[in-house]
A = this chain, B = another copy of it.
Amino acid sequence: MLKIKIVSVGKIKEKSLKSLIDEYVKRLGRYAKTEMVELSDLPVPDNPSAGEITAVIEKEGTEIIKHISPRAMVVPMCIEGEKYTSEKFARVIESAANTYPEIVFVIGSSHGLCDKVKQMGNIKMSMSDMTFPHNLAKLMLIEQIYRAFKINNNENYHK
């Protein structure tokens, strides 16, 4: 069974958001072994310099990379990434499932994602030109992954 892992920086505090994400993790379980890995946000000084932000992003990147298996397909989520329709994304997942035992999606912290992680990406992906809170992006992403499996299995799912 394909493994889907979403590695993100920052823990979800809102109970309601957590319960919506948990519901999709449960539903996805029919199609893929699903794992959410939430790493701790690292402290950033007030009014940080660009260098201080880069240092935090790099430290976060080092933690992220520990959770990426060398055999996995890696999909960093970033603004400059590819934009897919849900149908095209479903085909991306389908073709990845034929090649890789695991797909790892990575959502950085609000400061961004380090270049090293971006460079590990087999593809980079963006869901919107708009910026969403990273925790909401997690819900959006897992919904799209679930939708992709519904599409690939020709199952009905609301639009």
Interface size on A, residues (CB 8 A): 29
What sequence of 0s and 1s flags, for each residue 136-149 of chain A, a beta carbon within 8 Å of any chain B beta carbon? 10011001100100
Question: For residues 62 through 85 of chain A, which have their beta carbon under 8 Å from a beta carbon of chain B?
Answer: 83-85
A contacts, CB < 8 Å to B: 14-17, 19-20, 83-86, 89, 110-111, 127-134, 136, 139-140, 143-144, 147, 158-159
Residues of B within 8 Å of A17, CB to CB, are: 16, 20
Is the beta-carbon distance between A110 and B16 smaller than 8 angstroms? no
Count this chain's copies in the assembly. 2
CA distance A136 to B142 in the complex (A): 12
CA distance A159 to B77 in the complex (A): 14
A28, chain B: closest CB distance, angstroms: 15
Is the beta-carbon distance between A130 and B85 smaller than 8 angstroms? yes
Residues of B within 8 Å of A84, CB to CB, are: 129-130
Known: A17-B16, A20-B17. A136 touches B143 (CB 8 A): yes
